[in-house]
Amino acid sequence: MTANRYDPAFPKQRGKPWIALGIVALTMVVAVFANQLVLHDPEAVDPANALLPPVLFEGGLLEYPLGTDRLGRDILSRVMLGTRISLSIAAMALAFGGIVGVVLGMIAGYRGGWVDVVIMRLADSFLAFPSVLIALVLAVTIGARMELVALVLGLVLWARFARLIRGEVLTWKERDFVALARVSGATGRYIMIRHLLPNVANSLVVLATLQVGWAIVVEASLTFLGAGVPPPTPTWGGMVAEGLDFIESAWWISLMPGIAILLVVFAFNVLGDWLRDKLDPQLRSV
Amino acid sequence: MLRVALSRLLQGLLTLLMTSVIVFVLARTSGSPVDLVLPSEATAAERQAYIERNGLDRPLPVQYGVFLVNALQGDFGTSLRTRQPALDLVMSRLGRTLALATLGLVIALVVSVPIGVLSATHREGAWDRVGQGFALLGQSIPSFLLGIVLILVFSIHLRWLPSSGIGDWRNYILPAVVLGWSISAGIVRLLRSSMLEALGAEFVKLARSKGLSEATVVWKHGLRNALIPVLTFVGFMYGVIIASAVVVEVVFGWPGLGYLAYESTLWRDFPVLQCAVLVYTAIIVSINFLVDLGYGIADPRVRT
């Protein structure tokens, strides 16, 4: 029997996304070793070399490959430092959202009944939660810090994880091996950790990879609005915002960090799509 | 049907309640809310009057109750900047944001429905690659970046369209395109998979075996069924659009609700910001509710 050509469960096998893997690996290295790799102090001001274009354009200097901003700060170095901020916040948000989401999703799926109803209603209300606006409120009231921005992102993320994990657990818990474990006297917690968690791990990895991009985009939007990590810390969104006033004359100030966001998010999304087809072709909803 | 409607209504109220609790808690943990809500030159007597009127010397749950009752009566305090009631300011900006969001939604549907359908019917073919590429780019390009690129191309280089402000219809185009862009990827992906599902279903086989033309099968029988999950999603997408409107309005200097929220953040105008957040949430919640309701009426299978 041939597979139905319309069946979404049989995607064509694709080759490994080498470019995306390369960008993700490079991003990680830059995020970890940003301080060692930068050519200039990202906060060092050099008025003599302010508003230099990137090296390939007329007037650009090799010393400043991506150009300089209005204070003569090196854009490449600032983009590299920004990588660290963006990835750290994404990692923290995913850790928070992932852990809370997995625990609550498992409990909801495994226990069922009113526990399930309460947790999933809660998750649904957080899905419609206006995270960008809450982050603005946060910036006005407490003042934005990295952990707090990550927390706001995590408030939406946990609901996405919980929904996915609950759905998976609902199908797995009817399997014989779970029934056997239960008959042999295993506790609910033991079954969830030893039997269900390994089986939902693939979906978890796929969703987490796909959400990295989302977290980076939202974090950049927040710093762009001035509600993320405040200056002078170099952040991608903050740099784009700073360049907005010079967009006609010095487009590179905004565009270079913008391209960095685009490349990194694109790479994580390609990787996530590939992982999904590879690990979990049934998973179409994320 | 009534049960579904009621549960959706509760769901929406829960979201709204949650947001209000978070806003309230944030305001109270940042120090004295008096500093957030009253201008810095307020006298001690004014401060004392505010504290008594809002029960700030009483336990937190009571304070939340007072906050909620005031909010339900439309009293969100007055703007620290203009001294107008916060709700009036928010309402005066609302129309512009809704107009932009609606136009963005229309643009998104017009562009992404054909792409979604074609990438399903030409699975693994050229159209599918276009669709997948479009979806991937849509997810990866943040709206502020697209906005800036469009301004560079269409306003600065070609000088076809204005880069900011409001004026005539030309001011709508760029921001609405960017807003539409922010949800197009989602529509293409969703429609592609639901279209694949619909085209594999029995009723499509039946339509084919009756000898109907492929175009009728795809666009009439296939699309009509594949659109249902997409339409339920439209409410959710409208919410996404309204939320990304904050960023887009700032890029294009569009004086809507999002820009107001941004300005209030810059000016630390807490009463207006708080009001904007709650009105935003209320709108998203009501749209979701209306879509769910309409969906229930249109699709009898939901009426359980």
The residues spanned by each domain of chain B are 86-303
Which of A1, A10, A24, A137 best probes binding to B when mutated, by most B CB atoms within 10 angstroms? A137
Q: pLDDT tens digits for A220-248?
A: 999 998 888 888 888 999 999 988 888 88
Alpha helices in chain A (DSSP H): 18-37, 75-111, 113-127, 131-141, 146-172, 176-183, 188-190, 197-224, 236-243, 252-279
Min Cα separation B190/chain A (Å): 8
- Indicate the residue of B142, B149, B250 with minimum beta-carbon distance to A217: B142
Q: Nearest Cα to A192, choosing from A284, A102, A106?
A: A106
pLDDT tens figures, A185-222: 888 888 888 888 888 888 898 899 989 999 999 999 99
Per-residue exposure over A70-104, b if at least 16 CB sit within 10 Å of its own CB, e if not: bebbbbbbbbbbbbbbbbbbbebbbebbbebbbbb
Q: Are A88 and A80 in contact (CB under 8 A)?
A: no
Identity of the residue in A4, A221, A227 whose CB atom sits nearest the CB atom of B200: A4
Q: Along the 304 residues of chain B, how does pLDDT read in single tens digits? A: 677 778 878 888 888 888 888 888 888 777 677 777 777 777 888 888 877 777 777 788 888 888 888 888 888 888 888 888 989 999 999 989 989 989 999 999 999 888 888 888 887 788 888 888 888 888 888 888 999 999 888 888 887 888 777 777 788 889 999 999 888 888 888 888 888 887 777 777 888 788 777 777 778 777 877 777 787 777 677 777 877 788 899 988 889 998 998 988 888 888 888 899 899 888 888 887 887 777 777 666 655 4
Q: Where are the domains of chain A?
A: 89-284
Write out pLDDT tens, residues B208-252.
788 777 777 778 777 877 777 787 777 677 777 877 788 899 988
From the list A7, A129, A225, the residue facing B262 with the nearest CB is A225
Which of A122, A136, A263 has the most B C-beta neighbours within 10 Å, making it the best mutation to test the interface with B?
Answer: A136
CA dist B205 and A250 (Å) reads 58
CATH topology for B86-303 is MetI-like fold (1.10.3720)
Measured between beta carbons, which residues in chain B are less than 8 angstroms from residue A131? 243
Q: pTM for the full model? A: 0.86
Cβ within 8 Å of A, B 276-295? 276-277, 280-281, 284-285, 288
B30 near A CB under 8 A = yes
Q: At what angle do helices A197-224 and B126-140 cross, to 10 degrees?
A: 60
- Please report the residues numbered 44 through 73 in chain B whose beta carbons come closer than 8 angstroms to any beta carbon of chain A: none
A13 pLDDT more than 70: no
d(CA B80, CA A171): 54
In chain A, the residue whose alpha carbon lies closest to the alpha carbon of B17 is A125
Query: Does CATH number 3.40.50.720 belong to domain A89-284?
Result: no
Residues A75 and A240: their CA atoms lie apart, in Å, by 11
Query: Tokens 């700032």, residue?
Result: B250
Contact by Cβ (8 Å): B108, B183: yes
Closest residue in B to A131 (Cα–Cα): B243
